[in-house]
Amino acid sequence: MAFEPKAPTIDIDPEQVAPDTFVIHSVQKAVGVPLFVQLNSLVIKGREPIIIDTGTRANRTKWLSDVFSLVEPEDVRWIFVSHEDSDHVGNLEQVMTACPNATLVCDWAVMERFSNFFEFPVERCRWVEHGESFDIGDRTLRVHRPPIFDSPSTHGIFDTSTGVYWAVDAFATGIPDANMDLHDLNYDDWAEGMGFGAFDGVSAWLPQVDPKKFNAAIDTIANLKASCITSAHSPVLRDTLIDRAFARLRELPFIEAPLPPGQSVLDDIIAAAAAAPE
Ligand SMILES: [Fe+2]
Ligand SMILES: [Fe+2]
């Protein structure tokens, strides 16, 4: 059956977070909990513009319109895919077609895991690994895996010219209002949301980690001293929120795993769907 999104995403315009750097926002209602989830991506409009992750299929029209309001398709020189989850590759085929001058930056694992679904034009691809850099004309982007992730292929990106870090799925949190800034969220709710996002959205393996090794992975990213952290699933983190977010990450191996919504919640969803007018 063809996929037709029933819950349209909520329109929020792109947000400039640094010179030439824009978060493409997409927000949708969370399933079974009274929260909203962001599904963001990033555009850097430098000398050789780059699109970092490609949004969701459900938000295709708005996502393509937002991205190409910032950069002409033929000017896009790079498309970076952090990993192969549907909320990061939702419009990959569309941008690869629309942007004939773009090179697709990914790695072996993305291609290996996703080639059952997408025919990679290998002559247009480039592989990068953790710790490597690539140049996009007026800046160097370094590849650093975020401390928590939900695919082994996950690669984050650090822009050495602006200090903006793309954290992919790390720092995920639900928000009670689709337009909410993290500064408007009280700390306890944010901390709880990050715990839920980490366990049930990103990294259910957290209780198994060696805290010393986990802290070392966090240190690698914290020591970048990012000016701003952008995440696919959180409003932008700036200022004191960055240190607080890293501190919260360090607690996660020790917290009790939150329970995800169970069958009773699904029963409610089914009942609500049955009662809704056609
Ligand atoms: Fe993911
Ligand atoms: Fe994601």
- Write out pLDDT tens, residues 210-239: 999 999 999 999 999 999 999 999 999 999
Distance 17 CA to ligand 2 centre (A): 20
| Nearest ligand to the C-alpha atom of residue 150 | 1
**pLDDT score of 241 more than 60:** yes
> In the beta sheet, which residues pair with residue 104?
79, 125
Distance 154 CA to ligand 1 centre (A): 8
Tell me whether residue 68 is exposed, middle or buried, using C-beta atoms within 10 angstroms of its C-beta: 0 to 12, 13 to 18, 19 or more: middle
Distance 278 CA to ligand 1 centre (A): 33
What's the mean pLDDT when you consider all of the chain?
A: 93
Identify the pLDDT of residue 1: 46
Q: How far apart are CA 92 and CA 95, in angstroms?
A: 5
Distance 86 CA to ligand 2 centre (A): 8
Q: How far apart are CA 131 and CA 36, in angstroms?
A: 33
Distance 278 CA to ligand 2 centre (A): 31
Distance 269 CA to ligand 2 centre (A): 23
- Write out pLDDT tens, residues 178-189: 888 888 888 999
Q: Please, are residues 39 and 233 in contact by the beta-carbon 8 Å criterion?
A: yes
Contacts of 18 (CB under 8 A, 6+ apart): 159, 162, 163, 164, 227, 228
Domain 15-275 fold is Metallo-beta-lactamase; Chain A (3.60.15)
Segment 43-61 shows an average pLDDT of 96
Residue among 234, 251, 88 nearest 174 (CA): 234
Q: Please, are residues 202 and 266 in contact by the beta-carbon 8 Å criterion?
A: no
Distance 87 CA to ligand 2 centre (A): 5
Segment 59-69 shows an average pLDDT of 96
Distance 150 CA to ligand 2 centre (A): 8
Domain ranges within the chain, ordered by starting residue:
15-275
> In the beta sheet, which residues pair with residue 36?
29, 175
Q: How far apart are CA 168 and CA 88, in angstroms?
A: 9
- Write out pLDDT tens, residues 67-98: 999 999 999 999 999 999 999 999 999 999 99
Distance 202 CA to ligand 1 centre (A): 7
Distance 168 CA to ligand 1 centre (A): 7
Q: Please, are residues 254 and 198 in contact by the beta-carbon 8 Å criterion?
A: no
Distance 55 CA to ligand 2 centre (A): 9
Pairing mode, strands 234-238 and 103-106: unpaired
Q: How far apart are CA 226 and CA 158, in angstroms?
A: 8
Say how far residue 243 (Cα) sits from the centre of its chain. Answer: 19
Distance 233 CA to ligand 2 centre (A): 7
* Cβ neighbours, 10 Å, residue 224: 16
Contacts of 104 (CB under 8 A, 6+ apart): 79, 80, 81, 92, 96, 120, 121, 124, 125, 126
- Write out pLDDT tens, residues 157-167: 999 999 999 99
| Nearest ligand to the C-alpha atom of residue 53 | 2
